[in-house]
Amino acid sequence: MASSHSSSPVPQSNSSDAFFKKEMDVAKRFRPVQSLPDVCPKEPTGDPSNLCDSPSLVADQHRWTIYHSKVNLPAALNDPRLAKRESDFFTKTWGVDFVDTEVTPSFYLPQITKEHFALYQQEITPREKVHERCRNICPPKDTFDRTLLHTHDKSRTDLEQVPKIFMKPDFALEDSLTFNAVLPWSHFSTAGGKGNRDAASSKLLQEKLSHYLDIVEVNIAHQISLRSEAFFHAMTSQHELQDYLRKTSQAVKLLREKISKIDKVMCEGSLRVLRLSLTRNNCIKAYNKLKLMATVHQTQPTVQLLLSTSEFVGALDLIATTQEVLQQELQGIHSFRHLGSQLCELEKLIDKMMIAEFSTYARNDLNRPLEDDCQILEEERLVSLVFGLLKQRNLNFYEIYGDEMIITAKNIIKQCVVNTVSQIEEIDTEVVVKLADQIRMMNFPQWFDLLKDIFSKFTIFLKRIKATLNTIRSVVLLVLDKNQRSRDLEDTLQKHSVKDSTVDTEVAYLTHEGMFISDAFGEADLPPVAADTTSQRNTSPNSEPCSSDSVSEPECTTDSSSSKEQTSSSVTPGGVEMMISDDMKLTELELGRLANNIQELLYNASDICHDRSVKFLMARAKGGFLEKLNSNEFVALSRLMEGFILDTEQICGRKSMSLRGALQSQANKFVNRFHEERKTKLSLLLDNERWKQAEVPAEFQDLVDSVSDGRISLPEKKTTATEERKPTEFLIVEGQKYATVGTVLLLIRIILEYCQCVDNIPSITTDMLTRLSDLLKYFNSRSCQLVLGAGALQVVGLKTITTKNLALSSRCLQLIVHYIPIIRAHFEARLQPKQFSMLRHFDHITKDYHDHIAEISAKLVAIMDSLFDKLLSKYEVKAPVPSACFRNICKQMAKMHEAIYDLLPEEQTQMLFLRINASYKLHLKRQLAHLNVVNDGGPQNGLVTSDVAFYTGNLQALKGLNNLDLNMAEIWEQKR
């Protein structure tokens, strides 16, 4: 069987080339049956190409080759577990479980159909016809053995006798159709009368099958005889292969002996040294691991010891380091299986302890006696607490401090009230229990002293809060700065790691082995930043806290501890040195928000103090107490509150509006009452004013002098010797004399009180400006009603309004107009730029006053005008000269001059008499025209000239009018 599978379709021999060629031709003509390749490989011929086809012991030692085969091919084909005549080769070889699956067509190969060969067929068909025609004309010489050909044809003819059903690959008698076709039942029927015939048919069928078997066996024997030469060749190759295997076995044995000697001489000792060195290293690692376990075993007692001294940060660092060591170095150790959960519970306990400790610290810090010192209470303890809270991400601890601030602010006011009330004998604390009622029973000096004490305590309270919060905020900012520097350092190290990957690989290996980087490389070989980091880590004082029996040798250092102990020292504003570790896993956003919240807490402290002060203020404001204060008391209160507001703004850096708003509300009420009192006082003064010139006391002159120095303020009362100065007749203002009435003197003082009140209470500037403009308008309108409107006749009982009253009223108005620009400048310096539009009130007031003064001057001229009309209408040009009319006119002019000369300045007097003279000339000219007196040099002209000369002489003889240009030529009609 094996030889049959190894036979070739054409017999191969060492015959001549012609014989070989003929066999090939026959093979082409008769297309013999294809068979399996030879089982035994051919003998190596020494050709390198042929040698490469066989498996190599060296190159193919790690993959499967034919030498690994344990079952030969005949045994595989003759598997007794399978059917004897199973025709499926793959099922025979790989078992009944093998299933021939359909191969999925490839996506990359096209589907070949008959159409693809159409072109080829078209081309080859003519050639084939030509070939057939040529072969028929010239048949080839047949040198093949006719006997062999005859035998082949005969065997082929015999095989054709065997039915095709036996040649099918899927031949199986189990199939009913196949079975019926091979063994029809008609040959086995035993019906009556047909037995002999059926027996003969069965025998004939058996002979036929035997004949088919003989044909097949003859053909098989023929095929074996054809391949007998290959069979003997295989046997020869088998003997040569056995010789090769024997020589190879001897060579392998010799090689093994040499290798054994080399192993004993050169390898065993070195390997033993390496094995002992590895054992020693393992023992050292085990020893270090045991020492690390001993250190970790002392974690809980050490944490208890640290907590007893309030070293929360150290305890948390120790717990974190121990947890990391448990996860990395001591993972899976049975004795420490519960230590991790115990440390977590201990960490939660430390959280609660730190919160309670911070609450106690805040309470002790805020409730200690409010003395002048603002030193921070136990700054080291505060810094430690803040670091611990930040480490545990308890970022709301500042809220505890805020709650304590509110409680402490309430207690400060309560304690101040209790201390003050205990010193006042008029208040019985047993009868009056409520603090608000006790406050309302105080008079202003007592209440003012209490408020001053509260403000001073609040100022110290805020300074103390600021110092504490600044320390907390500085810790947060230092941690934030450390995070930023760590990020920059990591970026720099990453750049260096890209440049020197070899060094990083060795460093990582040595770090994994438990060694320091500085032990493996010199600091000069490392990048500058890496060297600094290494030295900083090795020299860090904030290393892992250990107990007294813990190991401090370098071997105990692990990767986790060495990487975690990288710290940097910083100093707080109070001078406390802080060690900042790198394990505070807080983002820059969280730290920035926490710093802002702490700053906002300082602002809230200012608001709390202001709110409590407002409540204290409102408790006393009930019943109109603050509204009834006089100017000095309210100014003192306002200055005190403004001072406290400015102090809090300077301390906290932000304005709080509650107390300022309360002050503004009270100031508005004060302004209303202040204005109403002074307006009522001015109204009473005007109603009682007789419009006569009043003497000016020395204090009013001093008041005016103080204003002339460039400042508006009420001067303090001087000594008794100064008060003995006699009053003066006129008020001297910047070298000018002003004749005034008593009401105007008091009005000037009232105006200065308004200005000084603005200086004392800047928040009421706009209200005071409005009220002062209203007061000035009221004085102008009321004085106009009393003098020009003759209201004083009914109000005061004057008989008539004289020219002297008019001139005095005009001069008083001029005095007020003189001070309006000064008042305007005073308010302008205290107003905001957006409020300058309010200054237009002074422009309107100035215009109203000037109009009033012009009306008074017109009234004086009108008085003389009516007199001229009355007198000159009866004038006749006749002797004696001067006439009685002119004598009367000159007399009235002298009275007018006498009435106003001392009251009005010389320039105003001259201007007034020029207007009076113009009115006189107008009436005289009209009368002369009526009398037909012309300037012709006649007797009447001479009489008139004499009267006019008398008038001119008398008028120019008056004081201050000697240089007055009267221009009397205008009385005559001009000749046309």
Q: Tens digit of pLDDT for each residue in 488-521?
A: 777 777 666 555 544 444 434 333 444 433 343 3
* pLDDT above 70: residue 54: no
User: 87 CB contacts (<8 Å, ≥6 apart)?
Assistant: 169, 170, 171, 172
**Residue 93 has what pLDDT?**
58
**Residue 557 has what pLDDT?**
38
Phi, psi of 375 (to 5 degrees): -70, 150
**Residue 541 has what pLDDT?**
36
The per-residue pLDDT for range 257-274, each reduced to its tens digit, is: 999 988 888 888 888 899
User: Per the structure block, which two tokens stand in for 175?
Assistant: 């199939």
Confidence of residue 667 (pLDDT cuts 50, 70, 90): confident
* pLDDT above 70: residue 436: no
**Residue 430 has what pLDDT?**
55
* pLDDT above 80: residue 903: yes
User: 518 CB contacts (<8 Å, ≥6 apart)?
Assistant: 534, 535, 538
User: Per the structure block, which two tokens stand in for 678?
Assistant: 């002074």
Q: Are 383 and 578 in contact (CB under 8 A)?
A: yes
Average pLDDT estimate for 239-252: 91
> What is the distance of C-alpha 806 from the center of its chain?
75
Taking the C-alpha atoms of residue 151 and residue 159, their distance in angstroms, rounded to an integer, is: 12
**Residue 519 has what pLDDT?**
40
Taking the C-alpha atoms of residue 607 and residue 610, their distance in angstroms, rounded to an integer, is: 5
User: 883 CB contacts (<8 Å, ≥6 apart)?
Assistant: 875, 876, 943, 947
* Torsion sign (Cα): 418, 423, 429, 435: negative
**Residue 304 has what pLDDT?**
74
The segment with the largest mean pLDDT, out of 172-176, 793-797, 900-904, 971-975, is 900-904
**Residue 70 has what pLDDT?**
61
Mean pLDDT of the chain: 75
The SS3 call for residue 738 is strand
The per-residue pLDDT for range 575-612, each reduced to its tens digit, is: 445 455 545 567 777 777 777 777 877 888 888 888 88
Better-scored residue on pLDDT, 822 or 721: 822
The per-residue pLDDT for range 183-225, each reduced to its tens digit, is: 876 665 554 445 566 677 778 888 888 888 888 888 888 888 8
pTM: 0.53
Confidence of residue 853 (pLDDT cuts 50, 70, 90): very high
**Residue 373 has what pLDDT?**
62
Taking the C-alpha atoms of residue 181 and residue 175, their distance in angstroms, rounded to an integer, is: 10
**Residue 196 has what pLDDT?**
65
Taking the C-alpha atoms of residue 384 and residue 358, their distance in angstroms, rounded to an integer, is: 10
Q: Are 971 and 921 in contact (CB under 8 A)?
A: yes
* pLDDT above 90: residue 171: no
Confidence of residue 53 (pLDDT cuts 50, 70, 90): low
Average pLDDT estimate for 858-866: 93
Cα–Cα distances in Å, from 620 out to 230, 427, 444, 456, 643?
134, 15, 10, 19, 20
* pLDDT above 90: residue 856: yes
The SS3 call for residue 396 is coil
Amino acid (one-letter) located at 919:
S
Average pLDDT estimate for 357-378: 73
> 3-state DSSP: the chain helix, strand, coil percent, rounded to 5?
70, 0, 30
The SS3 call for residue 577 is strand
Establish how many alpha carbons lie within 13 A of residue 907's alpha carbon, considering only the half-sphere containing its beta carbon.
Answer: 3
Residue whose tokens read 């309030």 = 310
